[in-house]
């Protein structure tokens, strides 16, 4: 029976995964068959070519693991959803309680409100009181009270007016009496008194002027005295300076004269000596 | 998968680390993110050829991983479980892209700028600038070829060829039979071979050039 390996045998043999009897049979087939050997060579050649495709170099990026382990809540399915719904309901209930929300459905009416519902029913007391006081009664009562009030206000106004007029009159009478007394006093003042008053005023003024002049004259005197003293000092100083200058000049003149004198003497002695020596020479000759 | 050190690969599959992360140890979760980020990013990048999308997928994947790790029954299936998350996000993004049918502004206008950092980043691998250019060009061609194949096949090809998952693991990720995975792989490779043949890219031409 002739053996012909199939594609599975070929691949298994090519990659070294054919064992035992199957491998022996395949190798025997190769020995007997030139074409099979050529095919195997082709496969080896192809694998050699393919081996030239090298790996790409890559560096593994750091992978960070979270430390938190899944909690009990995370493991139970839908628990998170249920819990969130429950929390939402709780919040709604709490807000409703705090704001006093009121939801009611009565007689085809859906009502949402805040705070307690105000009842439209009237109390028995109101039922009894209603016929006792009509609108006219209330108006009458208001008018009566207004009238009473007006009367009381008018009475108090009148009383105040009386008091004010009384006090004004009293003040006027007092003031007029005072003015009259002053006028009377002024009219009774004699000519003598006036002249006396004026002379007194004049005397006082004179005294003030005299004092002023006396004070100013004394100040002026001291000032002029000081001025004169300063001027005298200045003149004295100036004089001293001038004298010093003259003395200095005189001294320098004296010095110059002395020098001139000495020079003259020297010249004279030199002339005398030269004249003396020349006369001696003449004598020797 | 040659960029990771042996220690990293060992840690990526360490049962104790996965267990710690599963119990809510944030340091262990962070370490897992660091270890697997490049793989998931490259899966996303090879799927879409788009850095931003790949970053988004990676971040979503790891956020989902941290959230749902406690529900992982068998720690031995962590790898396929993680890729399953990534594949789901990839499919979601692919659906969005089909729905919007719009191009990113960066893709249209900033293609050159987007390419330039790759030149710089790969500069240290090759001393020869010509070789560097050829390598970049070949990568682009292969990436382009991958993007042309069917999405279902592309998922399988990337997971098998570049992510090193076993067929059994891919079957777990995609929730399909192992044979279907192998079949998708077979046709995926076939399609790729045809695309590359059209571009005259084969083992010999690559050997000559590089």
Chain mean position to CA B27: 25
C-beta atoms of A47 and B161 within 8 A: yes
The pLDDT tens digits of the residues spanning A134-155 come to 788 888 999 999 999 999 999 9
Strand, coil or helix: what is B112? helix
How does residue B199 score in pLDDT terms, banded at 50, 70 and 90?
A: confident
How does residue B116 score in pLDDT terms, banded at 50, 70 and 90?
A: very low
CB within 8 Å of chain A, chain B residues 70-99: none
Instruction: Return the pLDDT at A256.
Output: 94
Instruction: Return the pLDDT at B155.
Output: 93
Instruction: Return the pLDDT at B117.
Output: 47
Instruction: Return the pLDDT at A65.
Output: 61
- pLDDT of A263 over the 80 cut: yes
C-beta atoms of A58 and B167 within 8 A: no
Nearest residue on chain B to A8, alpha-carbon basis: B182
Q: Per the structure block, which two tokens stand in for A62?
A: 């750091």
The answer to whether B78 and B36 have CB atoms below 8 angstroms apart is no
* Cα separation values, B93 from A28, B25, B90, B97, B125, Å: 46, 30, 5, 6, 33
The answer to whether B181 and B156 have CB atoms below 8 angstroms apart is yes
C-beta atoms of A42 and B66 within 8 A: no
DSSP codes joined into one string, A224-237: HHHHHHHHHHHHHH
Strand, coil or helix: what is B121? helix
**Contact status of A60 with chain B (Cβ, < 8 Å):** yes
C-beta atoms of A8 and B186 within 8 A: yes
Task: Report the alpha-carbon distance of residue A188 to residue A180 in Å, rounded.
Answer: 12
Q: Helices A34-50 & A20-32, crossing angle to 10 degrees?
A: 110
The answer to whether B203 and A52 have CB atoms below 8 angstroms apart is no
The pLDDT tens digits of the residues spanning B7-48 come to 677 776 678 888 888 888 888 888 889 889 999 999 999 999
**Contact status of A4 with chain B (Cβ, < 8 Å):** no
Instruction: Decide: residue A110, CB within 10 A, 0-12 exposed, 13-18 middle, 19+ buried.
Output: exposed
Instruction: Return the pLDDT at B118.
Output: 47
CB contact burial A47-70 (16+ within 10 A = b; e otherwise): eebbeebbbbebebeebeeeeeee
**Residues from chain A contacting residue B63 (CB–CB below 8 Å):** 63
Instruction: Return the pLDDT at A38.
Output: 92
Q: How far off is chain A from B109, nearest CA to CA, in Å?
A: 22
How does residue B56 score in pLDDT terms, banded at 50, 70 and 90?
A: very high
Q: Which of A61-65, A274-278, B77-81, B195-199 has the lowest mean pLDDT?
A: A61-65
Residue % of chain A over a pLDDT of 90:
47
Q: Which of A93-97, A172-176, B1-5, B139-143 has the lowest mean pLDDT?
A: B1-5
C-beta atoms of B210 and A52 within 8 A: yes
The partner residues of A110 in beta bridges, in order of sequence, read A105
The pLDDT tens digits of the residues spanning A199-214 come to 999 999 999 999 999 9
Select from B37, B58, B139 the Cβ nearest to the Cβ of A54. B139
**Contact status of A105 with chain B (Cβ, < 8 Å):** no
Q: How many CB atoms lie within 10 A of CB A12?
A: 22
Residue % of chain B over a pLDDT of 70:
80
- pLDDT of B90 over the 90 cut: yes
Task: Report the alpha-carbon distance of residue B103 to residue B100 in Å, rounded.
Answer: 9
Name the CA dihedral angle for B46, B51, B53, B57, rounded to a multiple of 10 degrees. 70
- pLDDT of B131 over the 60 cut: yes
In this prediction, residues A73-91 reach a mean pLDDT of 83
Instruction: Return the pLDDT at A2.
Output: 78
CB within 8 Å of chain A, chain B residues 5-44: 26, 29-30, 33-34, 37-38, 41-42
At B46, which helix (H) or strand (E)?
A: helix B26-48
Instruction: Return the pLDDT at A247.
Output: 95
Name the CA dihedral angle for A252, A257, A263, A267, rounded to a multiple of 10 degrees. 160
**Contact status of A74 with chain B (Cβ, < 8 Å):** no
Q: Which of A166-170, B7-11, B172-176 has the lowest mean pLDDT?
A: B7-11
Q: Which of A97-101, A241-245, B76-80, B129-133 has the lowest mean pLDDT?
A: B129-133
Select from A15, A42, A58 the Cβ nearest to the Cβ of B160. A15
How does residue B205 score in pLDDT terms, banded at 50, 70 and 90?
A: confident
**Contact status of B138 with chain A (Cβ, < 8 Å):** yes
């Amino acid at each position: 029976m002739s053996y012909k390996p199939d594609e599975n045998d070929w691949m298994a043999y090519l990659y070294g995964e054919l064992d035992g009897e199957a491998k022996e049979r395949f190798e025997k087939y190769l020995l007997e068959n030139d074409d099979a050997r050529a095919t195997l060579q082709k496969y080896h050649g192809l694998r050699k070519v393919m081996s030239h495709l090298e790996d790409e170099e890559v560096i593994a990026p750091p992978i960070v693991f979270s430390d938190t382990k899944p909690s009990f809540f995370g493991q139970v399915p839908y628990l998170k959803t249920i819990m969130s719904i429950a929390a939402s309901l709780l919040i709604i209930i709490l807000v409703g309680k705090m704001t006093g929300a009121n939801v009611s459905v009565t007689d085809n009416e859906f009502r949402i409100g805040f705070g307690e519902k105000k009842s439209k029913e009237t109390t028995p007391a109101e039922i009894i009181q209603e016929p006792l006081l009509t609108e006219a009664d209330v108006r009458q009562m208001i008018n009566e009270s207004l009238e009473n009030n007006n009367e009381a206000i008018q009475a108090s106004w009148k009383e105040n007016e009386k008091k004010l007029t009384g006090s004004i009159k009293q003040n006027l009478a007092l003031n007029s009496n005072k003015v009259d007394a002053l006028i009377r006093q002024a009219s009774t003042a004699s000519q003598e008194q006036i002249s006396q008053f004026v002379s007194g005023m004049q005397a006082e003024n004179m005294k003030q002027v005299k004092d002023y002049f006396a004070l100013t004259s004394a100040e002026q005197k001291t000032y002029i005295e000081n001025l004169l003293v300063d001027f005298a000092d200045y003149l004295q100083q100036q004089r001293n300076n001038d004298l010093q200058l003259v003395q200095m000049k005189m001294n320098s003149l004296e010095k110059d004269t002395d020098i001139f004198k000495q020079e003259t003497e020297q010249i004279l002695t030199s002339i005398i000596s030269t004249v003396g020596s020349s006369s001696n020479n003449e004598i020797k000759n | 998968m040659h960029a990771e050190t042996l220690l990293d690969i060992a840690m990526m599959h360490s049962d104790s680390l996965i267990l710690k992360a599963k119990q809510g140890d944030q340091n262990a979760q962070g370490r897992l993110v660091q270890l697997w980020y490049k793989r998931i990013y490259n899966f996303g990048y090879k799927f879409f050829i788009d850095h931003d999308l790949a970053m988004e997928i990676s971040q979503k994947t790891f956020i989902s991983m941290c959230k749902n790790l406690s529900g992982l029954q068998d720690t031995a299936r962590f790898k396929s479980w993680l890729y399953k998350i990534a594949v789901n996000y990839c499919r979601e993004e692919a659906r969005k892209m089909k729905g919007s049918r719009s191009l990113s502004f960066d893709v249209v206008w900033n293609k050159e700028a987007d390419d330039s950092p790759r030149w710089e980043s790969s500069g240290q691998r090759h001393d020869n600038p010509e070789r560097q250019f050829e390598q970049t060009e070949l990568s682009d061609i292969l990436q382009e070829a991958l993007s042309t194949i069917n999405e279902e096949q592309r998922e399988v090809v990337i997971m098998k060829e570049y992510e090193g998952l076993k067929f059994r693991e891919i079957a777990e990720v995609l929730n399909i039979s192992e044979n279907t995975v192998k079949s998708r792989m077979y046709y995926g490779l076939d399609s790729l071979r045809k695309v590359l043949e059209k571009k005259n890219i084969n083992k010999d031409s690559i050997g000559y050039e590089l």
